[in-house]
């Protein structure tokens, strides 16, 4: 397994070999296929997860069955740490949106490392602050932006994290169905389809299977504000 990937992650890059050995002494390796869940909202959990490759969606389900996606996470990102700081059941369901490889680290071992390595705490706090900032932004967008604006913003965010240059623009292999994209922006699939069709018609995007190619970043950026 690529322990070096974990070793080089910003969260762990600064710790010494002893602390790293302690942290990884009960490591579990997990391979998920698209659609399989790692844990469900309400489960008990004593591990956090680091994504080696692939993508994970974090979602919540309303009593009437509707789903909302809190985030899509990719390589190098961690999740499942909340119970470490505030013991309580899992706050979201974690499901793979593509073939995904992860490592699980025991909360207990990370807690031991945090006692002696304040720099790891700083990194974790930074990750939590970043997540709060992103969540606040989504909340404000739900109130202040229309659906096309939120779709544009979500695509730009996915492009930032997963995009790569293509011949005619930026390829964003987000791996999401239109239903999942709708759950991510908090709108119906029909409204999201309409927004995507409008962007395509204007020449800002090209749709591909579970991917888009952004052809006009500036216009899309303008629409996201
Ligand atoms: P935990 O509650 O253990 O399990 C679900 C995980 O989803 C949670 O820890 C966090 O790591 C992650 N999570 C919860 N809310 C958000 C959010 N708003 N943005 C990104 N990740 C989140």
Residues contacting residue 12 through CB under 8 Å, at least 6 positions apart: 6, 20, 23, 120
pLDDT, residue 1, reads 60
Band the pLDDT of 220: cuts 50, 70, 90. Answer: very high
pLDDT, residue 80, reads 93
- CA 219 / ligand 1 centre spacing (Å): 32
pLDDT, residue 155, reads 97
Band the pLDDT of 16: cuts 50, 70, 90. Answer: confident
pLDDT, residue 136, reads 93
For residue 58, which atom of ligand 1 is closest to its CA?
7
For residue 88, which atom of ligand 1 is closest to its CA?
2
From residue 107, how far is each of 22, 87, 186, 212 by CA, in Å? 12, 11, 32, 37
Q: Which residues line ligand 1 (CB under 6 A)?
A: 45, 58, 70-71, 79-83, 90-92, 131, 135
For residue 45, which atom of ligand 1 is closest to its CA?
3
Q: What is the pLDDT of residues 58-103, one digit of tens each?
A: 999 999 989 999 999 999 889 998 888 888 999 999 999 999 999 9
Average pLDDT over residues 197-224: 95
Is pLDDT above 90 for 18? no
- Choose one of 91, 104, 107, 137 to mutate for the ligand 1 pocket test, by most ligand atoms within 8 angstroms of C-beta: 91
Average pLDDT over residues 14-38: 87
Average pLDDT over residues 170-185: 95
> Which structure tokens are listed for 158?
């996915």
- CA 95 / ligand 1 centre spacing (Å): 12
Contact 32, 54 (CB under 8 A): yes
pLDDT, residue 178, reads 92
> Lowest-confidence range among 117-126, 162-171, 180-189, 212-221?
117-126
The mean pLDDT value of the chain amounts to: 91
Of 113, 108, 93, nearest to 36 by C-alpha is: 93
- CA 82 / ligand 1 centre spacing (Å): 7
Q: Which tops the pLDDT comparison, 57 or 7?
A: 57
User: Which residue has its alpha carbon closest to ligand 1 atom 3?
Assistant: 80
Average pLDDT over residues 35-48: 94
In angstroms, the CA 127 to CA 150 distance is 23
In angstroms, the CA 15 to CA 62 distance is 40
In angstroms, the CA 181 to CA 186 distance is 9
User: Which residue has its alpha carbon closest to ligand 1 atom 21?
Assistant: 71
Q: How far is CA 6 from the centre of its chain?
A: 17
In angstroms, the CA 178 to CA 176 distance is 6
Average pLDDT over residues 123-144: 90
């Amino acid at each position: 397994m690529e322990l070096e990937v974990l070793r080089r992650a910003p969260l762990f890059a600064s710790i010494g070999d002893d602390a790293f050995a302690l942290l990884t002494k009960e490591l579990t390796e997990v391979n998920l296929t698209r659609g399989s869940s790692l844990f469900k909202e309400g489960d008990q959990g004593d591990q956090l997860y680091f994504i080696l490759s692939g993508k994970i969606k974090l979602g919540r389900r309303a009593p009437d069955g509707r789903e909302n996606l809190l985030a899509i996470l990719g390589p190098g990102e961690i999740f499942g740490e909340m119970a470490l700081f505030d013991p309580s059941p899992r706050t979201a369901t974690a499901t793979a949106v593509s073939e995904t490889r992860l490592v699980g680290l025991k909360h207990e071992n990370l807690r031991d490392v945090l006692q002696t390595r304040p720099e790891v705490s700083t990194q974790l706090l930074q990750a939590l602050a970043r997540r709060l900032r992103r969540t606040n932004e989504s909340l404000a967008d739900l109130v202040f932006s229309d659906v096309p604006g939120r779709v544009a913003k979500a695509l730009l965010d996915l492009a930032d994290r997963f995009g790569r240059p293509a011949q005619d623009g930026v390829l964003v292999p987000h791996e999401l169905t239109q239903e999942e994209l709708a759950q991510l922006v908090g709108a119906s699939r029909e409204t999201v389809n309409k927004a995507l069709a409008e962007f395509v018609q204007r020449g800002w995007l090209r749709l591909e299977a579970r991917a888009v190619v952004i052809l006009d970043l500036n216009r899309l950026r303008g629409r996201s504000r």
